[in-house]
Structures are given as structure tokens and as C-alpha cells.
Amino acid sequence: MSEQTSDAMQPALARVDSFIDAAWLADGWSTHTASNYRRDLVQWVEWLHQQGLDSLRATAEQLRDFLAEQARLYEANAGLSLSQRRELPVLQRGKNAASRARLLSALRRYYRYWLEEAQIALDPTAELDGPRLVRPLPKTLSEAEVEALLGAPASDTALGLRDRAMLELMYATGLRVSELVALPLAALDLQAGAIRIEQGKGGKTRIVPMGELARLALDAYLQGGRAELLGGRAHAITFLNPRGEPLTRQGFWFIVKRYAAQAGIASTRLSPHVLRHAFATHLVNHGADLRVVQLLLGHADITTTQIYTHVAQARLQALHSQHHPRG
């Protein structure tokens, strides 16, 4: 992009950044989400700029043309290797169905924002249908497998107490891995049996109950193992490694992998995020309201949580096929 072209695009890019900042503050987006949305929107305004068009005056027809072009380019480049595709200009690479769905989601949010700000009179995305996606069901574990996993850590060592507390807490609360490893002591309320999670830059807070077994495991770690890991030092984070420092996401992944082997669960079927899926799936299987699960998981959009109704339905169908005489 030439300097002259870049200068001419500055108003459009500034609008993209204003939207991203507002959405980040309002919804507590992760840096990853904000970066993806910004990249998609910058590609859109660049495409418009090449045709002498302005994003606030875009029409539904222009949006359809852009999405169709991205689909066509993706198919045209299907024979290229990943490195060859990356050598192409960004707008010439194309997008698959999942990427186009994310792009359309970014565009919907972008134009809804400017409609609410009274900068446009009509939302050009209102008439658009998204690409059809077949969403894979998330990997999960049976309740018996979870019991075996939670029972794997030893209860007579500092690391065993820590690991049991982490696994119990993640399954009991559905925490994200990033939330678990960064969990501060100040967020724990053992007396109430709940934890407080601060979400994103917007400072949103959710209160999640932890259940009695997780509370007992956490209390045992705090009363026993944690002091040994600290070695006389102090730290505000709950879960620590043998050097008295916070665990990393990768460190927790190795912990999960080790106990999966002990519990007889294939490592390909288990990751830290699978425990979060198991938490939500088992709640829905036992009749929990989807809105409650949404609040506990910290999902901003109920559609993200609705995947668990499909998991529950798939389980019921499997049981029917296995046990019904005409299954």
C-alpha cells in the first residue's frame, strides 16, 4: 500500500479502530478476538477503497460481492500450499466458509455499532445470510472418565494437592485455562463456595459457584501444598509451580496430559479445554438451563452456548440407538 493510499484510508481505518476499542470495552474481548475482527474489517475497507467506496456508504450488494469474491478466490487457490498462499496479497488469498462466517460476524457488529451511533441510517448486513457451517461437536468426556481423571493426582504431596485442586476447580466451574492459571487468591471465597472472575478489558465480572468437592480440594491445597511451593515467599496467584511462580497454560496442559495417561484416557481426547466442555455438557445433560450455563461459562452470546444442546441431543440419540429395540 502506497503512502498516498494509506493516507486516504486513514478515516476508514480510524473508524475500524474506534469500533474495536468500543466493542473491546463493552464485551471484554480477548486480544485474539479483537485482532481477528480488526484484520477482517481492515480487509473490507481496503477492498472498498480500491473501488473508490466508503465503508459507511456500503450496500448489501457490495457486501455480497466481497463475500462471493473471497469464496471464489479461496477455491481458486485451493491447490496452493500454505506458504504459497501466504505469499499472495491478503485480499487475493480468499477465505473458507468458517473465515467468511467470522468476517460476516465482524461486519454485522461493525454496522450495528455505527447504526447505534447514528452514523448510518440503514444496516447493510441486515439482508445477508451467512455461509452454511457444519459445526463439529466439541470433544468431551463421560462422567466416569472425569471421575477417573479427578482421582488420579496423589493427595499426599504438594504437587498432587495442587493438581487435584486445579482439575476439580476447572471441572466444577468451567473456567477457561487462562482464567484458571491467573486466578488470584483474592478471587476465592471458600466460605461462600464461589469464585469471582474478571473478564477482559471491560472489567466484567461473573461469580461462579464451585461445589463442595472442589471447595474441599482447594482448601486442602491452600492449607497444605501451596505453602510448601511458596517456600516462605508470597504470591497473589493461587496455583504455583515448584519455584513458587504461577503456572503457565503449557504447564497445565502437561499436567492434564500426565493424569489422562494415568486415568486411561487417550491424550488425543483430552486437553484443558475439554474439561470446560465436560462441565457445560454434563450440566446440560442433567437439565441445566442454557442461560445459566451461558452465565457460568462467561459467553457473551447465547449462540456460543447452544452447541451444548447438540451435544446433549447426540448423547440421547446414541443411547436410543444402543438400547431401543428399534434403535
Catalytic positions: 176, 201, 273, 276, 299, 308
Q: Cα–Cα distances in Å, from 51 out to 46, 69, 86, 90, 115? A: 9, 14, 24, 16, 23
To 5 degrees, how large is the angle CA 288–CA 291–CA 295? 100
Cβ-defined contacts of 117-123 (< 8 Å, 24+) = 119/56, 120/56
**Among candidate residues 50, 100, 51, the one with its CA nearest the CA of residue 75:** 100
Q: How far is CA 97 from the centre of its chain?
A: 19
d(CA 101, CA 131): 6
Beta pairing partners, 28: none
Q: Cα–Cα distances in Å, from 199 out to 134, 171, 176, 275, 305? A: 29, 19, 11, 19, 17
Give the dihedral of Cα atoms 274, 245, 221, 256; nearest 10 deg. Answer: 20
d(CA 183, CA 187): 7
Q: Are 33 and 55 in contact (CB under 8 A)?
A: no
Q: Which amino acid is at 214?
A: A
Provide the H-helix boundaries in the chain: 3-27, 31-50, 60-76, 82-87, 97-116, 143-150, 158-173, 177-181, 212-220, 226-230, 249-262, 272-285, 290-297, 302-305, 307-323
